[in-house]
Amino acid sequence: MATAAPRRRRSLAAALRRYGWSYLFVLPTFSLFVVFTLLPVVQGLVLSLQNARVTGGEFIGLANFETLAADPVFVQAVGNTILYATVVVAAQITLALVVASLIQPLGTQAHVFYRALFYLPLVNSAILVAMVWRWIFNANPFGLANTALGVIGLGPFLWIGSSDQALIAVILSAVLTIPGGGVVLYSAAMGSLPRELYEAADLDGASWFSKWRHITVPLLRPTTLYLLVIYTILAFQLFERVYIMTNGGGPNNATITIVQLIYSTAFQFGRYGLASAMAVVLFVMALGVALVQFRSLRSDVEY
C-alpha cells in the first residue's frame, strides 16, 4: 500500500510525458467549450441569484426562485412544458420504433430510400415547418385540419384560436411529424442486433411480434435511452413551434412554455436575473429527468 501512491504518480507522470502534447489538440475545442458553453452556464447560475437587468444587478439570494414559485404564469409554463414533453417524447419514440421496425425487413435499397425519406424533412427550417402547422391548425374553415375533418362531418374546431385546444394543436403538430432522426438511429441499431438470437427464436417457433417484443425492443434499450434523453431535452426546449404557431403563448397563455417565457422575460422585459432563474429551473428539470431515465433504462447488455 505504501508504494501504491508513488507508483500512481510515476505512471501519471509517464503518461503525461508520453501523451501530454496530445492535450494541445484538445485545447482549441476545450477553449471554445469553456468560453461559449461552460462560462455562460456559470454566468447564468450567478445571474439567477441577482436582480440583474441590463444596467447590472445586486445579489438577492433565492428571491428570483421565490418569485417564480409564486408566479402563476411560470407555473403554467412548467405544466405546459411537462405535458408537451411527456406526450411528444412518448409518441415520437414509439413512432420511431414502429417505423424503423416496419422498414427493417425491406431490402437494402428500400431501406436506404425510406431512411432518407424520413430524415429529409429534418433539413427544413423549423420556422417554415411551424408556419405550415399554423396554417393546418387554423381556426377558420380554410385551415387544412378543419377542411379534412369537415369531409367526415367533424368540426370546425378552433384549434390554435382557443385556449382549450391550442396546446393540443401544438402537441399534435409534433406527434404527427415522423421523427426522422429516431427512425435512422433505431434502424441502424436494429441492423447490428445479433442474428443468432432471432435464429434461436425461429427454432422455438416465435412469431414476428414475439421476436420484436422479446428480442428487438429489449436490445434497443441503449438507443431508446439515448433518444429518450435527447428528445426530452429537445421537448423541454420547445420554443419556435409555440412562438410561430400561437404567437408566443396562445390565447390566455395556453401554450406558454418555459423557454418562451425565458425569451420574453430576458429580451422583452429585460429581467436577466429572473430569466436566468427560469433557465436554472429548466436545467434542473432536464437533469433530474435524465438521471431518472438513466437509472430506469440503463442496460448492461452488450452486443
Partner 1 sequence: MGRDVLINRRRFLQSMAAVGVVVACGPTATASPSPSVSASGSPAPKAVSIEWWRRNYAQGTQSAETITSDAAVKAYKDRASNVTIAIQGGPFGAETDQKFDIAILQAHNGPDVFHTTGGDVLKYAAAGQLSQPTLTDAERTDFNPSALKATTYKGTVVAYPLWIVPWFEYINLDLFKEAGVTPPTGGNWTYEEFLAAAKKLTFKRADGKQIYGLAHANDEFAFMLIDGGRPYDSTIKTWTFNSADAVSGLEKWVSLAQQKVMPPDFLTLNPNDSQARFLAGDVAILQRPSAMINILNADAKWKFGTNWDIANFPKAKGDQTAWGGVGFIAVREQSDADKKAAAHAFAKYLTGPDIGPDLKKQTPPVEYWLAPAGRKSAAGIYGDYHPAKAKVATMGAFTYVLPNVSTWSEIDQKYLRPARDAALEGKKTPKQALDEVAPQAQKLLDEANK
H-type alpha helices, 3-62:
4-19, 22-33, 39-47
Burial class for 155, CB neighbours closer than 10 Å (0-12, 13-18, 19+): middle
Using the minimum distance from each CB to partner 1, give the nearer residue, 88 or 242: 242
The yes or no reply on residue 251 touching partner 1 (CB under 8 A) is yes
| Minimum distance, C-beta of residue 139 to partner 1, in the bound complex (Å) | 4
Distance CA(224)–CA(268), nearest Å, equals 38
Cα angle 93, 285, 247; round to 5 = 75
Q: Could you say whether residue 263 binds partner 1 (CB under 8 A)?
A: yes
User: Residue 102 or 144: which CB sits closer to partner 1?
Assistant: 144
| SS3 (DSSP) at 84 | helix
Least distance (Å) from partner 1 to the CB of residue 163?
Answer: 6
Which CB atom, from 84 or from 243, has the smaller least distance to partner 1? 243
Q: Give the one residue of 86, 147, 163, 237 binding partner 1; rule: CB under 8 A.
A: 163
The SS3 call for residue 104 is coil
Query: Toward partner 1, which CB reaches closer, 54 or 203?
Result: 54
Packed helices 63-70 and 272-297: angle between N→C axes, nearest 10 degrees: 80
By CB under 8 A, name the one of 158, 172, 258, 259 that touches partner 1: 158
**Nearest to partner 1 of 179, 250 (CB atom):** 250
End-to-end CA distance of the chain: 38
Dig out the grid coordinates for 52 from the structure. 440583474
- Residue from 57, 161, 181, 222 in contact with partner 1 (CB under 8 A): 161
Residues of this chain that bind partner 1 (CB under 8 A)? 54-56, 73, 138-141, 156, 158, 160-163, 166, 246-247, 249-253, 263-264, 267-271
